[in-house]
Structure 1
Amino acid sequence: MSAPVAIDVRGLTKRYGARTVVRSVDLQVARGAIYGFLGPNGSGKTTTIRMLCGLLTPDEGEGHCLGFDLRTQARRIKREVGYMPQRFGLYDDLSIEENLDFVAAVYQVPGRRDRVDRALAQLGLAQRRGQLAGTLSGGWKQRLALAACLLHDPQLLLLDEPTAGVDPSARRMFWDHLHILAAHGMTVLVSTHYMDEAERCHALAFISQGRLLARGTAAELVSHAGLSVREAGGSPLALAALAEAIGSAPGLRGVAAFGANLRILAQSDAELDAALAPVQGLIAREGIRIARAEPGLEDAFIALTDDGGGAPQDGS
């Protein structure tokens, strides 16, 4: 039996004047899933998520979120959503505890004092409860923002670039907590630019120019991209010369430095071999080493978003 569905929408479209920012998005998200949205800046990620959660009304399309109709029951949906914007949205001149108490009052949370105390304990904030929010580091502000999102026991978390500017240790702790929440049945929609975070999602959608290009697990999206990859090793000058020589070769999907190596992408072995054939002299003369490599999620992301927005496709 398939998992219960938290979100099921078809044909979602949003326009601002003459500009269409989201185009005919179809999507299903299982309850208890962590669903990631990847896309370039301005690709429609945030607008899509806000429509899915009833925070924006679509111009076209229909569907349900948490069993409620997107168009006629948006207020019911919003009551079940915890929203964490990209920028810290709480009050710098209030303490951690005062911020949480204020949010709990806004949501009319029953047993407000006990619920605030529980949130402080859950996110490791109890020892800092009296500290002003404006004096917190990025990682602690992130914890406070998440605690505020959870006060009213939402069924769905909406997180817009939640770890931007946060150190790796705080990011890892944050994601560990998201997985605990998901294990207890909470659904999470998160936009991110970090590939390691995207790989921690249960499923992903790639968005570009308002179109849903592909969706599925990380492994499915990499497989769907169907890329052939080579890594070139050698001196920095040699690799720079190689990149310049093949950068405009037809069939290549990307040429980029990756650590001490040069990563070269194409849609097939034949196209990649054809691009490298004219520079075999350079490769031999400079002692450049060429080896086959496995494509990764970042490779798939670059290839798909460089397509200019093709038809929506499933990763599976």
Structure 2
Amino acid sequence: MAEVVVRAEGLTRRFGAFTAVDHVSFEVRRGEIFGFLGPNGAGKTTTIRMLLGLLEPTEGRAWVLGHDATRETARIRPRIGYVSQRFSLYPDLSVEETLRFYGAAYGLPAQRLRERIPMLLERLDLAGQSRRLVRHLAGGWRQRMALAVALLHEPEIMFLDEPTAGMDPLARREIWALLYQLAERGVTIFVTTHYMDEAEQCSRLALIHNGRLLAQGTPFELKERAGPKGIVAISATPLERAFLLLRDWPFFQHVAFHGARIHAYPRDPGLSIEEIRRRLEEAGLEEISVEWIRPSLEDVFLWLVDQAAQEAELPSRSGGALR
């Protein structure tokens, strides 16, 4: 098994009476893309800040590259790269000047900088922007710029806090292609996201909601939690009435709209399609379609949120959009 390079044990952060991160534990292995999936306000950024030593935990501990994330930050920072949600580069420097400035701050020799800067400009498609002032860059280009700065000193781990926010789909795809290249070279990627398509591309995932981890595993393992048959996809007319009926039936543990269909998690995997169809017909619904399907990550996440809410006797609203 690959070396563990990030470990969190019972990591907790409170702000007054509010608990932003609640006893979170996980491990990240060298060379993998580890995704932290959750809606806005779930606790993703707070967790990253504790791992980077920027915020002291209220409880629990974390280690990065074998060093205590709170007490040994000076030994960790030269070996990691960080791209935050909030853009923080100097606006009055050009792209190339920014890279030279941060290269000097990292202590890179002049000869190494002369090699690294053209290579990063080319890899991130920034060569044509090298003389442009940072303040004149659009959102997507700024994110590329932040990535270039974080990669200058060839870090062992990259911490990326929603790195594709504000990017168009093509730019997002290009960034993820770069992340795959980095992982293939042995760089560990810790990335937060609320995009389901990005979560599908991770080696492993931790699903977080309201500061608590709901589940961990590969995308395949998480979707397998639905059972050997998967979940039931149902369409009927009128759809709203079908939803209310299915929600009130004891056969299902979770029912949710999914576009023009309803996705339902059966309590008993032996439940038959014919039984569901018969009951819907007896209720007077028409144009009925019922089939077993494999769940998406979105299905799994919403199901786990609903389960957690039922256990805590709280409303199951996600608190933010997942896409």
Note whether the superposition's TM-score is higher than 0.5: yes
Q: Aligned partners of 1:108, 1:11: CA distance in 2, in Å? A: 35
SS of structure 2 residue aligned to 1:287: strand
The residue that corresponds to 1:243 in the other structure is 243
The residue that corresponds to 2:320 in the other structure is none
Aligned length: 306
Contact 1:37 1:191 in 2 (8 A): yes
Stretch of structure 1 that moved more, 47-56 or 295-304? 47-56
Contact 1:232 1:262 in 2 (8 A): yes
The residue that corresponds to 1:143 in the other structure is 144
Which structure 2 residues correspond to residues 158-307 of structure 1 after superposition, within 5 A?
158-226=159-227, 228-233=230-235, 238-250=238-250, 251-258=252-259, 260-269=260-269, 278-282=279-283, 285-307=285-307
Q: Aligned partners of 2:39, 2:62: CA distance in 1, in Å? A: 26
User: Which string of whole-angstrom CA distances, capped at 9 and with x for unpartnered residues, describes residues 181-208 of structure 1?
Assistant: 0111111111111111111111100112
TM-score normalised by length of structure 1: 0.86
SS of structure 2 residue aligned to 1:308: helix
Q: Aligned partners of 1:271, 1:55: CA distance in 2, in Å? A: 51
The CA deviation at 1:95 is 2.3
Contact 1:12 1:26 in 2 (8 A): yes
The CA deviation at 1:180 is 0.6
The CA deviation at 1:171 is 0.9
Rate the CA distance shift 1:130–1:272 in 2: closer, same or farther, 3 A.
Answer: farther
Stretch of structure 1 that moved more, 64-73 or 221-230? 221-230
Contact 1:159 1:189 in 2 (8 A): yes
Kindly provide the amino acid, as one letter, of the partner of residue 240 in structure 2.
Answer: A
User: Which string of whole-angstrom CA distances, capped at 9 and with x for unpartnered residues, describes residues 115-170 of structure 1?
Assistant: 32332122121122112333333332222121111112221111111112211111
SS of structure 2 residue aligned to 1:170: helix
The residue that corresponds to 2:71 in the other structure is 72
Kindly provide the amino acid, as one letter, of the partner of residue 175 in structure 2.
Answer: F
Contact 2:158 2:187 in 1 (8 A): yes
SS of structure 2 residue aligned to 1:116: helix
Q: Aligned partners of 1:289, 1:160: CA distance in 2, in Å? A: 41
SS of structure 1 residue aligned to 2:153: coil
Rate the CA distance shift 1:280–1:122 in 2: closer, same or farther, 3 A.
Answer: same
TM-score normalised by length of structure 2: 0.84
The residue that corresponds to 1:55 in the other structure is 54
Q: Aligned partners of 2:266, 2:137: CA distance in 1, in Å? A: 45
Contact 2:63 2:69 in 1 (8 A): yes
The residue that corresponds to 1:97 in the other structure is 96
SS of structure 2 residue aligned to 1:256: strand
Contact 1:231 1:262 in 2 (8 A): yes
Q: Aligned partners of 1:36, 1:303: CA distance in 2, in Å? A: 19
Contact 1:25 1:212 in 2 (8 A): yes
Kindly provide the amino acid, as one letter, of the partner of residue 73 in structure 1.
Answer: E
Kindly provide the amino acid, as one letter, of the partner of residue 290 in structure 1.
Answer: V
The CA deviation at 1:82 is 1.2
Contact 1:222 1:297 in 2 (8 A): yes
Q: Aligned partners of 1:272, 1:174: CA distance in 2, in Å? A: 44
SS of structure 1 residue aligned to 2:109: coil
The CA deviation at 1:44 is 1.4
Rate the CA distance shift 1:268–1:297 in 2: closer, same or farther, 3 A.
Answer: farther
Stretch of structure 1 that moved more, 63-72 or 211-220? 63-72
SS of structure 1 residue aligned to 2:104: helix
The residue that corresponds to 1:7 in the other structure is 6
Unaligned 5+ residue runs, structure 2?
A: 313-323
Contact 2:277 2:288 in 1 (8 A): no
Kindly provide the amino acid, as one letter, of the partner of residue 78 in structure 1.
Answer: R
Contact 2:10 2:23 in 1 (8 A): yes
Contact 2:9 2:25 in 1 (8 A): yes
Kindly provide the amino acid, as one letter, of the partner of residue 43 in structure 1.
Answer: A
Contact 1:225 1:304 in 2 (8 A): no
The residue that corresponds to 1:314 in the other structure is none
Kindly provide the amino acid, as one letter, of the partner of residue 246 in structure 1.
Answer: L
Stretch of structure 1 that moved more, 194-203 or 267-276? 267-276
The CA deviation at 1:275 is 7.6
Q: Aligned partners of 2:234, 2:138: CA distance in 1, in Å? A: 40
The residue that corresponds to 1:20 in the other structure is 19
Contact 1:228 1:268 in 2 (8 A): no
User: How much identity, in percent, do the aligned residues show?
Assistant: 44
Unaligned 5+ residue runs, structure 1?
A: 312-316
Contact 2:50 2:57 in 1 (8 A): yes
Q: Aligned partners of 2:155, 2:298: CA distance in 1, in Å? A: 32
